Homo-oligomer: A and B are copies of this chain.
Amino acid sequence: MDAIDDLIKLLSRLPGIGGKSAARMTYRLIGTDPNYNKRLGEAIATLQDKIHRCPICGAFTETDPCPICQDERRDRSVMCVVEQSQDVITIQNSGIYSGLFHVLGGAISPLNSIGPDQLSFSSLRKRIEEGSFKEIIIATNPNEEGDITALYIKRMFKDSNIKITRLAAGLPVGGDLEYVDRKTLEISLKARMDV
């Protein structure tokens, strides 16, 4: 197998990249600035050496703790619970939320045998108990797993005085939080409902 085929096959394993896209990327890489290729190759090869999960919130980070957990200006009375680390970025990039985050590492999924024990609920409970939160915003995906997970969080804190809300209607049902546009996200955050 030659270098071109090899790279096309490797790239094809990335999400959303088919054989033709991978070929197109590979030929672009052959003709591009060599410095760019070295930087891209290095960035991919060393990514996992640099990135780890924040010991507090569970988001991927290079610093310890992550920049959001470190930031004194964040509103420490609101906690936004998300499934994946990239959901933190999606919400951060919208610029309409200034509280803290907690990354579960997924959603409860009986079909995929993912139970609460495999997600970071115990550290969430600990953070909530030790903090002075007034509200928990559940930002799980608007699908069945996200619904089950939201219900689980609601029950977990039902005896506390903390307000529990969830991102509102406006999110496309069955979709992925990662692909929501800023406007839809803003509407759903503003119109968030009690669960």
Which of A's residues lie within 8 Å of B, judged by CB?
Answer: 2-4, 6-7, 10-11, 13-17, 20-21, 23-30, 34, 36-48, 50-51, 60-63, 84-86, 89, 178-179
Are A47's CB and B27's CB within 8 A? no
Are B20's CB and A15's CB within 8 A? no
Give bound CA distance, A51 to B34, whole Å: 12
Query: Copy number of this protein in the oligomer?
Result: 2
Are B86's CB and A23's CB within 8 A? yes
Per a CB cutoff under 8 Å, which of B3, B10, B36 touches A62?
B3
Give bound CA distance, A106 to B14, whole Å: 29
A179 contacts which chain B residues (CB < 8 A)?
A: 20
A4 contacts which chain B residues (CB < 8 A)?
A: 47, 51, 60, 62
Are B15's CB and A24's CB within 8 A? yes
Are A62's CB and B24's CB within 8 A? no
Query: Given that A25-B17, A86-B23, A178-B24 are known contacts, is A47 also in contact with B37, CB under 8 Å in the complex?
Result: yes
Are A30's CB and B48's CB within 8 A? yes
Give bound CA distance, A85 to B39, whole Å: 25
Are A25's CB and B29's CB within 8 A? no
Give bound CA distance, A29 to B117, whole Å: 25
A4 to chain B, nearest CB (A): 6
Are B3's CB and A14's CB within 8 A? no
